[in-house]
């Protein structure tokens, strides 16, 4: 079988949360460029519309929904509507997330003063919101006995760091176990559940602080490759997990981090 056939997503319907920018946009792009119809969702409607317009101008088939995954019931309704329109849901990227404030390298992120509202909001979005996304996807995939759910966790789930917040560490680590349990439950339905654990990528998370020269240098110092990643570098792994090329992979937590786990 040629490589193109392994990674071809023609006829597939793919949903991506957090698709307006960063890693989510890269996921939407690679799925659309390889034949999928992509339903893009993001809390930032303006960024979402601009991203979708660029993809449509390249000949891709996409639709958009403004979505806060932390809002109870909202992600379920969005995925229900996608299936009503298209009759199927082949892959969901549960990607949307927030930083939850600074880590303890910043005095405001120290454990004795860290803002509890930031902690609670981080868990609401990064853990509970992702859980709602996974369960809503499973509801539609189980009757068809087929599907792929790809969750964006973080290397912060695998190794402690002074840079991300306590809430971010906790939520992303909890999400790793959700992925493993969901893979165990959904495997008999031929639904694969895997997690990508990115290291530092140039995204807008945390108000884009990693894009500043100071922020980029601070994060690059933690990476053996000596740099932060471009979001385009997530595309190969995202396409692998969305496609039949990963048909025997489930329950995996895959770092893409420039070697921070070494």
CB atoms within 10 A of CB 125: 22
Q: Give CA angle at 133 (130, 137), nearest 5°.
A: 145
Contact by Cβ (8 Å): 45, 121: no
Residue 134 buriedness (CB in 10 A; 0-12 / 13-18 / 19+): buried
Alpha-carbon 9 to chain mean position: 18
Any residues with CB less than 8 A from the CB of 214 and at least 6 apart, and which?
none
CB atoms within 10 A of CB 173: 16
d(CA 143, CA 189): 8
Contact by Cβ (8 Å): 64, 48: yes
Quote the tokens at residue 77: 């309704």
The residues carrying an active-site annotation are: 168
Q: Burial code of 41-53, b = ≥16 C-beta within 10 A, e = fewer?
A: bbbeeebbeebbe
DSSP notation for 74-111: HHHHHHHHHHHHHS---EEEE------SB-TTSGGGST
């Amino acid at each position: 079988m040629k490589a193109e056939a392994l990674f071809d997503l023609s006829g597939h319907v793919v949903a991506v949360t957090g698709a307006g920018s960063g890693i989510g946009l890269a996921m939407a792009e690679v799925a659309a460029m390889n034949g999928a119809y992509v339903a893009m969702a993001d809390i930032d409607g303006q960024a979402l519309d601009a991203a979708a317009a660029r993809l449509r101008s390249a000949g891709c088939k996409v639709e958009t929904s403004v979505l806060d995954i932390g809002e109870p019931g909202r992600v379920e309704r969005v995925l229900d509507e996608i299936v009503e329109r298209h009759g199927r849901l082949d892959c969901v990227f549960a990607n949307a997330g927030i930083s939850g404030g600074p880590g303890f390298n910043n005095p405001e992120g120290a454990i004795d003063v860290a803002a509890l509202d930031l902690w609670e909001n981080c868990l609401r979005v990064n853990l509970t919101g992702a859980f709602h996304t996974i369960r809503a996807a499973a509801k539609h995939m189980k009757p068809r006995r087929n599907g792929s759910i790809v969750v964006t966790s973080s290397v912060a789930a695998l190794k402690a760091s002074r840079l991300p917040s306590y809430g971010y560490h906790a939520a992303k680590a909890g999400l790793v176990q959700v992925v493993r349990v969901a893979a165990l439950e959904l495997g008999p339905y031929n639904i694969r559940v895997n997690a990508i654990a990115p290291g530092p990528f140039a995204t807008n998370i945390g108000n884009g602080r990693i894009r500043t020269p100071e922020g980029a240098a601070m994060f690059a110092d933690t990476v053996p490759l000596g740099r932060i990643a471009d979001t385009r570098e997530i595309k190969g792994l995202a396409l692998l997990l969305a496609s039949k090329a990963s048909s025997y992979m489930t329950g995996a937590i895959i770092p893409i981090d420039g070697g921070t786990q070494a």
